[in-house]
């Protein structure tokens, strides 16, 4: 099995000021990353996280304010990272928001979906070996929300299956052979971060919001951030180009590419 190494890599993480993204920053620094660049809309939190990481790991973390729902912010931030570090080896498209309410869903969708697409395309252009780049890894954060059918937050669920399908289609042969870019997708189950706060306000309808809060309280097993970080780092080390992974309930990370491939084969068989 081929192994990939975080040593000496420059890693860009969107939404890295807090939650899972901050955990991934720490995880990559612990595994030898040369630099970690955190892009986030939350400036104070981002600066505080970078200060904490720099104290622990010796000035390897940088914060750049960036609203990933805004194309001009993405361009400015991406160019700033390249001007400073010259090369980006790993992009973790992590920024996300569960906000299906009538006044928030459109921006949330821009964050979860368009922002991720934009960073992926910029990453592909920069990294592709067939146009002079050095190759690299792009990690797209999906969710078990892409794998289950639940009525509570359909806009969030839609954005997460879009992330999964975009990533698997992009990574189809001969993408890796041509570009040297490994696309990895990971579906996390419910994990203990701020996304779980005010859960009853996350739906497009108050009744569904209340039901969701009750179910999360009574039925869901919350994963620890550390388990999700361990899962992502392990996937980074062993994940084949184009592979899809699952991390739930503090269990070891598991590759689910064959299951997803089978499901799509079933769909394709419908047209034959
Ligand atoms: N926590 C969970 O249960 C799960 C989370 N995920 C996904 O993991 C990713 C991270 O989520 P969490 O850490 O749980 O959430 P979180 O709410 O704790 O952190 C999200 C981070 O993204 C940043 N962010 C939000 N909008 C932004 C914008 N417009 N531009 C830049 N940054 C922005 C926030 O400031 C925050 O630092 C998301 O994509 C989420 O959908 C996936 C499955 C489960
Ligand atoms: C469907 C809404 C769940 C809301 C819980 C709060 C945040 C979760 C964010 C996620 O991205 C996870 C999404 C959905 C979980 C769906 C099913 C649970 C399956 C088991 C598990 O994930 O642990």
Tens-place pLDDT, residues 190-199: 999 999 999 9
Is residue 227 within 8 Å of residue 250, measured between CB atoms? yes
User: Structure pTM?
Assistant: 0.98
Is residue 184 within 8 Å of residue 140, measured between CB atoms? yes
- In this prediction, residue 218 has a pLDDT band, given cuts at 50, 70 and 90, of very high
Task: Please report, for the chain, the start and end positions of each structural domain, with discontinuous segments joined by +.
Answer: 10-269
Q: Enumerate residues lining ligand 1, CB below 6 A.
A: 14-15, 17-21, 40-42, 66-69, 94-97, 111, 141, 143, 188, 190-191, 193-195
Is residue 64 within 8 Å of residue 81, measured between CB atoms? yes
Residue range 110-157, pLDDT digits in tens? 999 999 999 999 999 999 999 999 999 999 999 999 999 999 999 999
pLDDT, mean of residues 196-221: 96
Residue range 159-176, pLDDT digits in tens? 999 999 999 999 999 999
- Provide ipTM, 2 decimals: 0.98
Q: Ligand 1 test: best mutation among 53, 164, 195, most atoms within 8 Å of CB?
A: 195
CA 148 – CA 138 distance, rounded (Å): 24
- In this prediction, residue 2 has a pLDDT band, given cuts at 50, 70 and 90, of confident
Concatenated DSSP letters of 135-201: -EEEEEEEEGGGTS--SS-HHHHHHHHHHHHHHHHHT-TTHHHHH-EEEEEEEE--BSSGGGTTGGG
Q: Is ligand 2 within 6 A of the CB of residue 222?
A: no
Is residue 53 within 8 Å of residue 29, measured between CB atoms? yes
- Overall fold of domain 10-269: Rossmann fold (3.40.50)
CA 82 – CA 132 distance, rounded (Å): 15
CA 17 – CA 101 distance, rounded (Å): 24
Ligand 2 mean position to 2 CA, how many Å?
Answer: 31
């Amino acid at each position: 099995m081929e192994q990939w190494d975080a040593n000496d890599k420059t890693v860009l993480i969107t939404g890295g000021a807090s939650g899972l993204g901050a955990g991934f920053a720490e995880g990559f620094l612990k595994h030898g990353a040369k630099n970690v660049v955190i892009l986030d809309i939350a400036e104070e939190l981002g600066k505080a996280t970078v200060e904490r990481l720099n104290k622990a790991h010796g000035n390897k973390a940088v914060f750049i304010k960036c609203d990933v729902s805004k194309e001009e912010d993405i361009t400015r931030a991406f160019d700033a990272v390249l001007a400073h570090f010259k090369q980006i080896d790993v992009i973790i498209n992590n920024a996300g928001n569960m906000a299906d309410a009538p006044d928030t869903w459109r921006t949330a969708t821009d964050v979860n979906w368009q922002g991720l697409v934009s960073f992926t395309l910029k990453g592909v252009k920069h990294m592709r070996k067939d146009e002079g780049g050095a190759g690299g890894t792009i990690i797209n954060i999906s969710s078990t929300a892409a794998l289950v059918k639940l009525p509570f937050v359909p806009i969030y669920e839609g954005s997460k299956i879009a992330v999964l399908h975009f990533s698997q289609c992009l990574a189809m042969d001969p993408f890796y052979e041509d570009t040297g870019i490994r696309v990895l997708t990971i579906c996390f189950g419910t994990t203990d971060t701020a996304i779980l706060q005010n859960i009853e306000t996350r739906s497009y309808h108050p009744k569904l919001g209340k039901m969701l809060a009750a179910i999360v309280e009574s039925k869901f097993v919350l994963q620890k951030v550390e388990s999700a970080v361990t899962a992502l780092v392990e996937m980074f080390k062993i994940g084949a180009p184009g592979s899809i992974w699952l991390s739930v309930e503090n269990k070891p990370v598991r590759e689910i590419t064959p299951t997803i491939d089978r499901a799509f084969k079933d769909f394709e068989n419908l047209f034959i």
